[in-house]
């Protein structure tokens, strides 16, 4: 079953593709949205294989949206303008659907995606999805891409989570529980109710504190986390 996300700033266009997806046995609707920023946030945790995305959207174009994905998903572009077709194929998308979209043409595109995905290494796709995620910030409509390899540590604050990466603080509008669920456990460990650290960033451990490379100061180790932490790093 191929799980799909439909993205178009016009609701009637979304509804049409949703109805088509329901008619195809090997497709399943995961999410639909008229907001590309919302869709990017959903893709942080959602299990989606194929995205049907409009190209011309006011807040973020389909091409910009696809670039933000970093090649982690298969994409089919939809648009009312044939002039965008070449742009779509230049970005290595599965297919290009010109509106108005007939069910016959949609089915052909879906079959093309199924053929492509059946020969694609699923393990590689999953690994690529674990390289990064996006976080919302206080600035409306702004998402920041966070690469796991850049994170030194994470600190839980009152109204947000502070992600410290390469000496920079990113204030993410989420809680520690949700962020911890995004982090690969092989690379990160929680050492305190308010702190998660990247294991490879550890420089030394002194009693109940951890010192990290390229980070001024130290991170406390909570009593309830210490035994599990010490087991992890043995």
The tens digit of pLDDT for each residue in 48-57 reads: 999 999 999 9
Average pLDDT, stretch 110-137? 74
pLDDT at 89 over 50: no
Q: Distance between the two ends of the chain, CA-based, in angstroms? A: 41
Q: Is residue 182 a part of any domain in this protein?
A: yes
Per-residue confidence band for 154, with pLDDT thresholds at 50, 70 and 90: very high
The tens digit of pLDDT for each residue in 104-113 reads: 999 999 999 9
The domain that holds 179 is classified in CATH as 2.40.50.1020
DSSP 131: T
pLDDT at 84: 57
Q: Is residue 132 a part of any domain in this protein?
A: no
Average pLDDT, stretch 10-26? 97
- Please check whether residues 182 and 104 belong to one and the same domain: no
- Enumerate the H helices of the chain as residue ranges: 11-23, 36-42, 62-69, 85-90, 103-118, 122-129, 176-182, 223-232
DSSP 10: S
Per-residue confidence band for 158, with pLDDT thresholds at 50, 70 and 90: confident
- Considering the entire predicted model, what is its pTM? 0.53
Interatomic CA distance for residues 56 and 120, integer angstroms: 29
Domain count, the chain: 2
- Please check whether residues 151 and 111 belong to one and the same domain: no
Give the structural domain span for 173. 144-232
pLDDT at 88: 46
Interatomic CA distance for residues 158 and 35, integer angstroms: 28
């Amino acid at each position: 079953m191929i799980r799909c996300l439909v993205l178009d700033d016009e609701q009637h266009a979304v509804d049409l593709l949703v109805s088509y997806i329901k008619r195809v046995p090997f497709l399943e609707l995961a999410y639909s949205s008229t907001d590309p920023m919302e869709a990017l946030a959903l893709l942080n945790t959602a299990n989606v294989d194929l995205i049907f995305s409009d190209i011309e959207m006011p807040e973020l174009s389909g091409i910009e949206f696809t670039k933000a994905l970093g090649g982690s998903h298969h994409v089919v572009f939809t648009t009312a303008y044939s002039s965008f077709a070449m742009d779509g194929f230049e970005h290595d998308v599965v297919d290009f659907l010109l509106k108005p979209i007939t069910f016959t043409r949609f089915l052909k595109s879906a079959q093309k995606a199924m053929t492509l995905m059946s020969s694609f290494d699923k393990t590689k796709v999953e690994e690529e999805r674990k390289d990064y995620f996006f976080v919302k910030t206080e600035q409306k409509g702004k998402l920041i891409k966070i690469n796991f390899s850049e994170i030194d540590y994470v600190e839980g604050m009152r109204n947000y989570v502070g992600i410290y990466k390469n000496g920079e603080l990113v204030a993410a509008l989420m809680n520690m529980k949700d962020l911890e669920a995004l982090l690969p456990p092989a690379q990160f460990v929680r050492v305190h109710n308010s702190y998660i650290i990247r294991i490879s960033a550890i420089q030394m451990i002194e009693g109940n504190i951890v010192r990290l490379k390229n980070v001024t100061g130290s991170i406390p180790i909570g009593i309830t986390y210490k035994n599990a932490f010490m087991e992890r790093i043995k």
